[in-house]
Structure 1
Amino acid sequence: MSSKKYPVEGVGLGLRRSFFDEVLQTPDFAVDFMEIAPENWLHFGGKQGRQLRSLTERFPFVCHGLSLDLGGIKPLDEDYLYSLKKFFKKHDIRAYTEHLSYCGDSGHLYDLMPVPFTEEAVKYVADRIRRVEDILEQKIGIENVSFYAMPTSQMTEQEFVKAVLEEADCGLLFDVNNTYVNSINHQYDATEYMQSMPTDCMMYLHMAGHFDEADDLKIDTHGQPVKEQVWALLEQTYQHHGVIPTLLERDFNIPPLSELLEEVEQIRGYQKAWRDSHVA
């Protein structure tokens, strides 16, 4: 069993506005940690700011960003990074992760576009990651993203992700659903991809649902329950890497909170089963 220290433990849930009040009013809310996109909360003060602080005092929180644009061509928004730094300190944020993608051009693209899988891009993105870490004074993590158009490539996706991790010496937010979706859309082995990721880099995992557009096309919507194949890949991930803190994301078609907590408990069940099978 790994003795690795993670920034959080157990099972988490991505906090969304649609059930924010319900979480506030549920003293025994059954999650171990929560995640927010800092862009959506950074500038809230007054009552909402105090309410968020009450939750960050109750639960460990992590932040998963949407707009840092690590792979983009424009200079990093350092004013934004200094604002993040203050926010993280105020709310005792345990970890910060961003997508390994670009989302800006002449303006914000409101989508996550794949970075070309080239040696030049590895060094470019790694330099930007190191600059972010210098400003924040902490290690950050990158997330493997889903994508639909294959970028310019001198290497495979898994080779590219691993090269960035090594060059930047940063952490990994491993998205189990994105791995499955990409494996279908781009015809590779999801299990082999998962096994190739470095255990020591992993900070926590993401689980989410996707839409089955066709047998050979899956769309990463975060708008459906987690699919059976993704549950199976999660189980394989634990078998290979050990139990890693895991968070459920749901962004659209958000059901009653009780249904989300059923999926949270499914994750907890997989974690318990792994631990029970590894008791000496």
Structure 2
Amino acid sequence: MGLRRALLDDLEHAPAGDINFLECAPENWIGLGGIQAERLQALAARYPVTCHGLSLSLGGSAPLDMGLVDQVGRFLRQHRAVLYSEHLSYCSDDGHLYDLLPLPFTEEAVRHTADRISQVQDRLGRRIAVENVSTYLTPHAAMSELDFTRAVLAEADCDLLLDINNVYVNGSNHGFDASAYIAGLPAERVVCMHVAGHLDAGDALKIDTHGSPVIDPVWALLREACARFGPRPTLLERDFNIPPYAELRQELHQVRRILDLSARPVAA
């Protein structure tokens, strides 16, 4: 489950067995003190923590913010984070743009982005994962999104956080086969997954919002991913329009059912 401040009360009182790990954005917690820091520490003592960054702008043209990388590194060590991930996109130029913007699918962008990922990994002294992001246009596509993603993973020697909803959204928005995308990914790179809801903004446009329940086609893609890669730690993302915890709990249990089924041996 995502560690959102609006969910703190629910997470602190969640029944045993509902949650296996929590994911937080370091930028939202670095430097906090007082009761919020204490609550984070208590939850980190109860659950394994993963961290999902928002601001490194791995594909951007502005210099990497190594001061931020160092802050993130200290946060990861303090909370014994088992995974750190960021987005395969850019979000800054002359200042922060407050959005995850699409990269061109070119060899030059592969080399540029992979070099920046390698710099971050070297600075942190650990592997990171990058997340496939939802997009609504492509600046230039000399290759497919799948080929671009595979090339970055290989060039940077990093891992993949596979966002199932983003695959579904992009397949719909850009007209590619979401199942074929998942089938084409290198299984050894997939270290975790996300599922979330999105907004239907028309017949030809879906927007990744994390503000609604997961829909059946996304659950189906999660099943396909688990069949392809085996069970992987999977996060339910919900950032706003947060329902009562009982509703989120149903979705958490659906995630668990899918993962459990994929882990069972096939009967002869």
Is TM (by shorter chain) over 0.5?
yes
| Structure-2 residue corresponding to 1:172 | 160
Aligned to 1:173, the other structure's residue is in SS state strand
What displacement does 1:235 show?
Answer: 0.8
| Structure-2 residue corresponding to 1:185 | 173
Aligned to 1:214, the other structure's residue is in SS state coil
More moved, 61-70 vs 148-157: 148-157
What displacement does 1:152 show?
Answer: 1.1
Q: Distance in 1 between matches of 2:267 and 2:65?
A: 48
For the Cα contact (< 8 Å) 1:14–1:34, is it kept in 2? yes
What displacement does 1:49 show?
Answer: 1.1
Q: Deviations over 1:187-233 (max 9, x none)?
A: 00000000111110011000000111223211111111001110111
The one-letter amino acid of 2:197's match is: G
Q: Distance in 2 between matches of 1:98 and 1:81?
A: 11
| Structure-1 residue corresponding to 2:136 | 148
Candidates 60, 66, 77, aligned match of 1:89 = 77
| Structure-2 residue corresponding to 1:218 | 206
For the Cα contact (< 8 Å) 2:190–2:229, is it kept in 1? no
Q: Which runs of 5+ in 1 are unaligned?
A: 1-12
Q: Normalising by the residue count of structure 2, what TM-score does the alignment of the two structures yield? A: 0.97
What displacement does 1:15 show?
Answer: 1.3
Tell me the percent identity.
50
More moved, 26-35 vs 128-137: 26-35
Q: Which runs of 5+ in 2 are unaligned?
A: none
Q: Deviations over 1:88-123 (max 9, x none)?
A: 111000100000000012211111001111101101
CA RMSD of aligned residues (A): 1.3
Q: Normalising by the residue count of structure 1, what TM-score does the alignment of the two structures yield? A: 0.93
The one-letter amino acid of 1:250's match is: R
How many residues are paired up? 268
| Structure-2 residue corresponding to 1:246 | 234
For the Cα contact (< 8 Å) 1:211–1:224, is it kept in 2? yes
Question: Relative to structure 1, is the Cα distance of residues 229 and 27 closer, same or farther in structure 2, using a 3 angstrom cutoff?
Answer: closer
The one-letter amino acid of 1:242's match is: G
Which has the bigger relative contact order, CA under 8 A and spacing at least 6? Answer: 1
Q: Distance in 2 between matches of 1:230 and 1:131?
A: 34
